Amino acid sequence: MDEQARWEEKGRLARTGLAPLEFLMGKWVGRGTSHGAPVTGELEVRHLMDGTWLEARETLFDASGQVEHTDLCLYRFDVEQGRLEVVHLMGHAHMGRHPVEPVGRAFHWITGPAAPRLSIAATDEGLHMEVQFPGAATPAVTMKYRSP
């Protein structure tokens, strides 16, 4: 196989590897709670570049409509490692890079024992997202998103 064919195959494998996350695609609006307070949210997920990356941008708003939190997530299938992963960016110059594990019509980030766990699941109404901190009795953030 020549170099161009290998490059094309890598792209094909990367796009195929993203398939478990395709249910996220689109624009979503939601309601939920963040650290005990009611919030609304917007989530937009789209393909980037040649379709081998997914960009997910989420913004949460407090009850007065002010931005409470923004996340930018870049998902890809790492062909060399044979797994999905996320590069997670948020305020205060935070950046994390985590493996992503698909589970049926859902997935979660593999963040380690001391880090919060994020999970997103497809539902009949849209998407359900939770952020759970280790040892906490309830999720810190719960969002239910639907298509506008």
What is the domain-level CATH number for residue 125? Answer: 2.40.128.20
CB atoms within 10 A of CB 71: 16
pLDDT at 32: 97
Res 81: pLDDT: 94
Query: What is the C-alpha to C-alpha distance for residues 7 and 9, in angstroms, rounded to an integer?
Result: 5
For residue 98, report the phi and psi dihedrals to the nearest 5 degrees.
-135, 145
Locus of tokens 């020549």 = 2
Which of 1-5, 64-68, 130-134 is predicted with the least confidence, judged by mean pLDDT?
Answer: 1-5
Q: What is the pLDDT of residues 30-86, one digit of tens each?
A: 999 999 999 999 999 999 999 999 999 999 999 999 999 999 999 999 999 999 999
Cβ neighbors of 117 (< 8 A, separation 6 or more) are 108, 109, 111, 131, 132, 134
Burial of 7 (0-12, 13-18, 19+ CB in 10 A): exposed
Between 23-27, 32-36, 131-135, the lowest mean confidence (pLDDT) is in 131-135
Domain region containing 41: 3-146
| Structural domains of the chain, count | 1
CB 141 within 8 A of CB 131: yes
Model pLDDT for residues 75-128, shown as the tens digit of each residue: 999 999 999 999 999 989 999 999 999 988 888 888 878 788 889 999 999 999
- pTM of whole model > 0.95? no
The single-letter code of the amino acid at 50 is: D
On whether the CB atoms of residues 40 and 29 are closer than 8 A, the answer is yes
